[in-house]
Structure 1
Amino acid sequence: MGWVTRNLQSGRRLRPIDLARGHGLSTQAIRNYEEAGILPAADRTPHGYRAYTPLHERALAAFLALVPGHGHGTAASIMRAVNEGAADEAFGLIDGTHAELLADRRTLEAVENALRDLASAAVADRPAAAGSTAGSGPLFIGPLAGRLGIRPATLRAWERAGLVRPRRDPLTGYRVYDEADVRDARMAHQLRRGGYLLEQIAPLLAQVRAAGGPEPLESALTAWRTRLSSRGRALLTGAAALDAYLHARG
């Protein structure tokens, strides 16, 4: 049985060092957490020393469990709200983090769908036979718009937003879309169909360009999905610890 369990069962008073030791923290960190409202205010001994209780241990455990999923700032705000008796405010902060995680998941799924769309398009555009040039080479704005099923004006709007960056033919001045431009246009089209705004799409396409294409980006997307899963698990752990603290508060 650990020292925390013994203290929780005995209900005895805890010194700052007792609270800090179980989490590898300094006593100054414990005092800072109390001053920030993350821990409830401690009682004082007749000599002026802080006297913590098992309830403070629950609060500290809850805060430390909330940090990986919510971040330090939001976790601190959640604990302050709870300690001030504003549980609904704390729940609203928690809901906000879950909404943010859901938005990140949907963005990831949209990018993955766009990459799959690119892969399918690459197969469809591949020359049907050796020596064929159908579907290959640069495109002007009309043929590309027709291939995507959009208007040329849409491509021009995407260019103004930085989603596509076609070069200009030196003789005619016409826009010329090379293979990378076509790829970016396809991704933009897929993401727009998914409901994403132009300003949301631009940074995603910048990542594709920085990675050198969609293939190198796939490993980054796998790492992104892993991070989202880890954060989701951390939110569950934090919720359990916070629930234990709420029950201890009564």
Structure 2
Amino acid sequence: MWGWLMGELVSGSRRVPLRTVDVAGESGYSVQQVRDLERLGVIPPAARSSNGYRSYTPLHVHALRAYRGLAAAVGPVTARRMLAELRTETIAEAASAINAVHVRLAREREEALRAQQALRAIQAEANATEFEHESDAMTITQLAGALNVRPSTLRFWEQEGLVTPERVTSLQARRYGLSAIRAARIVAALRGTGYSIPAVREIMGSLHQLDSLGRTQHILQQHLDQIATRTVALLRAGADLAAVVGDHGS
């Protein structure tokens, strides 16, 4: 009965004063977390009565719920910054900021899917190739063009121990055989999805056999699953974000 009544108070248009314990119960946070998040600026400062007790409104509950979803989607630091900005922006500006998060998640998903496709192509090539021919090798310029990166990027990957070319001329020109080309393509795929150099190095260290490409595919699938979870969290926060933005604009 109490949960139903509180839901009516939060979802309705009436501004019924709420205690800290009420807000905690409705938002899913503890009383101390509500106070901490108020101190961090996630929610507006609560009104104080003459005896010092905090007095909240349904807007505070909406803001806390919105923060939960935003934090899951973009991280707590970015979520705190966004909520603080949403309270001062116009409706158009706030809607644009929220839409940008959706776009960012969609872009991350597209990049991860492209990486998966690239790794499948690499696996297919590896399974179809029994011998490495001289004509299969690439120069640094050719490989950079094929990967749509700069030659300096390939040299950086070499310095980091991610890709190891051969040097076959008196001028020490680089020559990339099939194994080096495959490694460069895997590095490009992982970097394209946002993996850091240390993370890529760890993954590449395990790719001593072609079967290990399956592990990389598994890592990318985990990344896709995480993006999906973050997207759902943002969708769940939608109504509460709308309440925060709508309150400011009203």
- Shift of the 246–97 alpha-carbon distance from structure 1 to 2, 3 Å rule, reads closer
2:120 paired residue number: 116
The TM-score with structure 2 as length reference comes to 0.71
Identity %: 27
Q: Provide structure 1 residue ranges, at least 5 long, that are not aligned to the other structure.
A: 127-135, 146-150
Structure 2 residue aligned with 1:101, among 94, 99, 105?
105
- Shift of the 81–224 alpha-carbon distance from structure 1 to 2, 3 Å rule, reads same
Cα distance in structure 1, aligned partners of 2:115 and 2:76: 29
Q: In the TM superposition, what is the alpha-carbon distance from 1:226 to its structure 2 partner?
A: 0.8
Cα distance in structure 1, aligned partners of 2:154 and 2:67: 46
2:137 paired residue number: 144
Cα distance in structure 2, aligned partners of 1:220 and 1:105: 14
Contact conserved, 2:41 with 2:84, CA < 8 A, in 1? Answer: yes
Q: In the TM superposition, what is the alpha-carbon distance from 1:232 to its structure 2 partner?
A: 1.4
Q: In the TM superposition, what is the alpha-carbon distance from 1:123 to its structure 2 partner?
A: 3.8
Structure 1 residue 154 and structure 2 residue 154: aligned? no
Structure 1 residue aligned with 2:73, among 65, 69, 75?
69
- Shift of the 86–73 alpha-carbon distance from structure 1 to 2, 3 Å rule, reads farther
- Shift of the 153–238 alpha-carbon distance from structure 1 to 2, 3 Å rule, reads same
Cα distance in structure 2, aligned partners of 1:42 and 1:186: 54
1:133 paired residue number: none
Cα distance in structure 2, aligned partners of 1:152 and 1:78: 43
Higher relative contact order (CA 8 A, sep 6+): 2
Contact conserved, 1:69 with 1:238, CA < 8 A, in 2? Answer: no
Q: Provide structure 2 residue ranges, at least 5 long, that are not aligned to the other structure.
A: 145-150
2:204 paired residue number: 209
Contact conserved, 2:136 with 2:177, CA < 8 A, in 1? Answer: no
Cα distance in structure 1, aligned partners of 2:29 and 2:195: 40
Cα distance in structure 2, aligned partners of 1:41 and 1:201: 38
Deviations 1:167-210 (A, max 9, x none): 457xxx7867565324224557x86xxxx6xx989778646513
Deviations 1:110-149 (A, max 9, x none): 21121122123124323xxxxxxxxx14x55x6412xxxx
Contact conserved, 1:58 with 1:245, CA < 8 A, in 2? Answer: yes
The TM-score with structure 1 as length reference comes to 0.71
